[in-house]
Amino acid sequence: MIVGALAPLPPLDPLPSRTLVLVDDGVPEEHDRAILAAAGGGEGSAPPALVRLGGGEERKTIDGFREILERCAEARLDRDSLLVAAGGGALGDAAGFAAATWHRGIRWLAIPTTLVAMIDAHLGGKTALNLGGVKNPLGAFWWPVAILADPRFLESLPPREIRSGWGELVKSALIGDARLFAELEEEARSRARGPPRLPSADEIGRAIEVKRRVVAADPLEEGQRRVLNLGHTLGHALETLPGSGLAHGEAVAAGLVFAAELAADLGRAPRPLAGRIAAVLARHALPARWPVERAEELFELMGRDKKRRRGESWFALPAAPGEVELAPVPASLVLRRLGAGPEEATRRDLLLR
């Protein structure tokens, strides 16, 4: 990943025969020229064609995916072509999967424009679609030729997109940067809950580094890479729960507290850890609980999750900031915790949404 002012992609070998640039229509048009320049492919390449598409989870449906394939056909992309995705995580997931399948695999370039995409969604080579009310059951590992991340894109994000990105940033700190989590804790103690701020370039870079290290050690998610699912088992269920209205990072935030409560239930973490996580989340107005009255629905949605192995529900569980373990959790305990919500200490100490 290249983080900084958007610069032209270094020349590829072979040069792209054609380049199709898909831009999320939530990206201000003022960025189009820089995106085209970055995707140019080098002297001698054909001029790139730009198409604006809707982003969001609708892009990860079969119909949304079909439109990308139709655009590839209209652009006459061949095996030496380049597909570029400039936008949020959903567009990157769908465009990356299209690149993996078009002519059995063509090159693609990721230009993340949201905080979630920069920190999480565009890293690691995972591409995916949603199907049947389940998050990401279709997909492939297909790495982009490069990821070009310009923090200036974040300046035009609405507060909710920034808040959602903080859910993923806190997750990264819990997984592999205890010092970063301690810094966020100190901020939460010293500042009242309020609108989320933009993370610093240092905070973004450290979150990216956590995921880079994990992916480098286990690129195809055969083992330890599954720690990156921290908060996502409940998070994905909350995202797909009818009427929840939660964005990805918001749902993951509640999932982090849920995982910490499960870890305490199993004796793998001290009980106060969930409250500490909730306090950091509250600083950025992120939810730290889930609808306990819909526990059965959430349990059923979690049962469809692709992270289940041989009928068992496996969770990434935080033992302490910077320490995450993988463990199966009995279904009875999962259902009980869904119905109970966070422990009283967490609810009492914080004003939770």
Could you report the per-residue pLDDT of 132-167, keeping only the tens digit for each?
A: 888 999 999 999 999 998 998 999 999 999 999 999
Asked whether residue 332 falls in the same domain as residue 189, the answer is yes
pLDDT interval class at 129 (50, 70, 90): very high
Same domain for 142 and 168:
no
From 112, 130, 154, give the residue that closes a domain.
Answer: 154
Domain identity same for 115 and 209: no
Phi-psi region of 245 (alpha: psi -120 to 50; beta: other; left: phi over 0): left
Do 65 and 85 share a domain, yes or no? yes
What percent of the chain is predicted at pLDDT more than 90?
Answer: 81
pLDDT of residue 46: 76
* Positions of E strands within 88-163: 107-112, 126-131, 134-141, 146-149
136 with 47, same domain: the answer is yes
> For position 351, what pLDDT does the model report?
45
Contact between residue 124 and residue 94 where contact means Cβ atoms under 8 Å apart: no
pLDDT at residue 318 tops 70: yes
Distance CA 313, CA 273 (A): 22
**Residue 163 is part of a domain; what is its CATH number?**
1.20.1090.10
Mean per-residue pLDDT over the chain, rounded: 91
Residue 282 sits in the same domain as residue 206? yes
Judge if 264 and 146 occupy the same domain.
Answer: no
Q: Nearest 5°: phi and psi at 3?
A: -105, 125
Q: Residue 311: which pLDDT band, with cuts at 50, 70 and 90?
A: low
Reply yes or no on whether the pLDDT at 21 is more than 70. yes
The pair phi, psi for residue 21, each rounded to 5°, is -110, 115
Task: Identify the domain boundary among 154, 176, 211.
Answer: 154
Residue 76 sits in the same domain as residue 125? yes
Model confidence over 34-81: pLDDT tens digits?
999 999 856 666 789 999 999 999 999 999 999 999 999 999 999 999
What pTM did the predictor assign? Answer: 0.90
What are the CA-CA distances from residue 80 to residues 9, 45, 274 (Å)? Answer: 16, 11, 50
Number of structural domains, the chain? 2
The catalytic site residues sit at 104, 126, 168, 211, 221, 225, 229, 232, 236, 248
CATH number at residue 129: 3.40.50.1970
- Give the range of the structural domain holding residue 278, as residue numbers without chain letter: 158-222+230-349
Predicted local distance difference test score (pLDDT) of residue 3: 66
Quick: pLDDT tens for 214-247.
Answer: 999 999 999 999 999 999 999 999 999 999 999 9
Question: What's the angle, vertex CA 289, arms to CA 207 and CA 262, rounded to 5?
Answer: 75
pLDDT computed for residue 67 by the predictor: 98
Pair 33, 133 in one domain: yes
For residues 183 and 274, membership in a common domain is answered with yes
Domain identity same for 96 and 173? no
C-beta of residue 24 within 8 angstroms of C-beta of residue 86 = yes
> What is the tens place of the pLDDT at every residue in 285-308?
999 999 999 999 999 999 887 566
Same domain, yes or no: 200 and 345: yes
Does residue 352 register a pLDDT over 50?
no
Where a domain ends, among 95, 122, 154?
154
